[in-house]
Amino acid sequence: MEEYTLREQITEVINKLFVYTDLQKWDDLQTEVFTETVEFDMSTMGGEKSDKSSKSICDGWKIGFKGLDAVNHLAGNYLITVLGEGAEVFAYATATHFKASATKGKTREFTGSYDLHLIRTQGKWKIDKFRYNLKYATGNLELE
């Protein structure tokens, strides 16, 4: 088994957040990425800041992606600060949603950043705080 640095372990969890979301691997998100309860804040998208179960987060995203033909997140510029058994991560990301049947443009794109906090439990890093900071959105925002 290979040894990974703390940064690599944390980066892998953040990459799984975006890849598993795009692939709609909801069970894997719940077991490998999120803690059971997450301090969840999507208020810049009109949501509320609240404690949510990982299941309710994934259920909400599943509904939100219904009818889309593809979702693609690109993330990077990770700034990681490890504080004992916790870590703070800043990341830039874009999310592109594609719907082939849309008549006013087939894509919408969200550009912003994430403030994430992870904790290490039983040797594994998981996200326990999630904040999305929308900078702007472009395209056919309703995908109609």
Residue 3: per-residue pLDDT: 86
Q: Does 38 reside within a domain?
A: yes
Task: For residue 12, tell me if it sits in a domain.
Answer: yes
pLDDT of residue 2 exceeding 80, the answer is no
pLDDT tens digits along 30-84:
999 999 999 999 999 999 999 999 999 999 999 999 999 999 999 999 999 999 9
35 located within any domain? yes
Give the 3-state DSSP-derived string for the chain, with helices as H, strands as E and coil as C.
CCCCCHHHHHHHHHHHHHHHHHCCCHHHHHHHHEEEEEEEECHHHCCCEEEEEHHHHHHHHHHHHCCCCEEEEEEEEEEEEEECCEEEEEEEEEEEEECCCCCCCCEEEEEEEEEEEEEEECCEEEEEEEEEEEEEEEECCCCC
Does pTM top 0.85 for this prediction?
A: yes
Residue 30 falls inside a structural domain: yes
71-118 per-position pLDDT tens digit = 999 999 999 999 999 999 999 999 999 999 999 999 999 999 999 999
- Domain membership of residue 144 (yes or no) is no
Is 132 inside a domain boundary? yes
Task: Provide the number of structural domains found in the chain.
Answer: 1
Structural domain that includes position 115: 6-139
Residue 44 lies in a domain: yes
User: Is the pLDDT score of 1 beyond 70?
Assistant: no
CATH number (domain holding residue 75)? 3.10.450.50
Does the pLDDT of residue 12 top 70, yes or no?
Answer: yes
1 found inside a domain: no
